Structure 1
């Protein structure tokens, strides 16, 4: 029971790190006396990595790699005294996700199809084509989101970086999730 509770706490902490990252970076860069946040961010990524320990599968390995990259970027920022390195984390996330989703398009089964089969079991040929298309749409999202994230890093305006990476990109991602779910429900009804 205690192990389950600890795992839940670690999962919640990991989720808060992902959501709160842009705002913590904004605070650390905007207010130099808050650079103490950097070691705390590294600790949060260590906790995220600990929560993922022992989990298998492509998505778990990606989450572990992203937590490790968060640790590396945060510790490099502390060691080099260059907190602006933290701005590159969203670009790393988009690049890794693009590689995962895009790479799966060249495999026997794209990532979204694997997830759909895990939840639904056997899929019709139409559903297989749909999952491939959804995987392609997510690749397009990661390309566009990564390009805008890169632009915000290079532009140098911390407020624009925080607005995009801390709010707008999450809103677009949520809209894409919701839109895809609505389309999927409609297609399911049509094919049943």
Structure 2
């Protein structure tokens, strides 16, 4: 897509989508992410450059790292909040487990964001698109699935 459209037009679209998400969720983290997106869009628009657009996945990973990381500092953790939507009365061992899972996601966001930066700065657009448009999502899905399998085993041991 970067090769078919001028970066400045993609930047405007990306900025609009980030602002919509920020206002729809009304969470401060997404307002900061939208501000970061606006800065990248301004850079892309002013210089009609694709690099700022290629840095967007790194920005999203940084926002997710901040969201999950701050939840470790100011509990409940991000994963605990999600878990309590299905099971409001989590036992203490489940709270500890959700904290470890939140830490694992923080590690993922660091690694994934780092690779996103590397592909943006030092690889071809094809490699960047392959990693950020496919491989990163496969890794994320694998992490989700693996954690779900572990969680089911932990639950079975607790109940069995």
- Pair in the same fold by TM > 0.5: yes
Aligned equivalents of 1:184, 1:148: Cα separation in 2: 28
With normalisation by structure 1, the TM-score equals: 0.72
Q: Check the 8 A contact 1:39/1:75 in 2, yes or no.
A: no
| 1:42 alignment partner, one of 5, 8, 12 | 12
Aligned equivalents of 2:98, 2:91: Cα separation in 1: 11
- Count of aligned pairs: 159
Q: Check the 8 A contact 2:18/2:37 in 1, yes or no.
A: no
Q: Check the 8 A contact 2:14/2:37 in 1, yes or no.
A: no
Q: Secondary structure at the match of 1:109?
A: coil
Q: Check the 8 A contact 1:42/1:70 in 2, yes or no.
A: no
Give the CA deviation at 1:93: 1.1
Does residue 95 (structure 1) correspond to residue 65 (structure 2)? The answer is no
* Structure 2 counterparts to residues 17-32 of structure 1, below 5 A: 27-28=1-2, 30-31=3-4
Q: Secondary structure at the match of 2:55?
A: helix
Aligned equivalents of 2:16, 2:57: Cα separation in 1: 18
Give the CA deviation at 1:62: 2.9
- Could you list the runs of 5+ residues in structure 2 that have no partner in the other structure? none
| 1:123 alignment partner, one of 84, 90, 112 | 90
The aligned counterpart of 1:4 is none
Alpha carbons of structure 1 residues 152 and 50: separation in structure 2 relative to 1, 3 Å: closer
Q: Check the 8 A contact 2:15/2:37 in 1, yes or no.
A: yes
Q: Check the 8 A contact 2:14/2:41 in 1, yes or no.
A: no
| 2:80 alignment partner, one of 99, 113, 123 | 113
- Could you list the runs of 5+ residues in structure 1 that have no partner in the other structure? 1-26
Give the CA deviation at 1:75: 3.5
Give the CA deviation at 1:72: 3.4
| Structure 1 runs (4+) greater than 4 angstroms displaced | none
| 1:83 alignment partner, one of 47, 50, 58 | 50
Give the CA deviation at 1:155: 1.0
The aligned counterpart of 1:179 is 146
Alpha carbons of structure 1 residues 119 and 38: separation in structure 2 relative to 1, 3 Å: farther
Does residue 153 (structure 1) correspond to residue 120 (structure 2)? The answer is yes
Q: Check the 8 A contact 2:40/2:53 in 1, yes or no.
A: yes
Q: Check the 8 A contact 2:22/2:34 in 1, yes or no.
A: no
Alpha carbons of structure 1 residues 77 and 40: separation in structure 2 relative to 1, 3 Å: closer
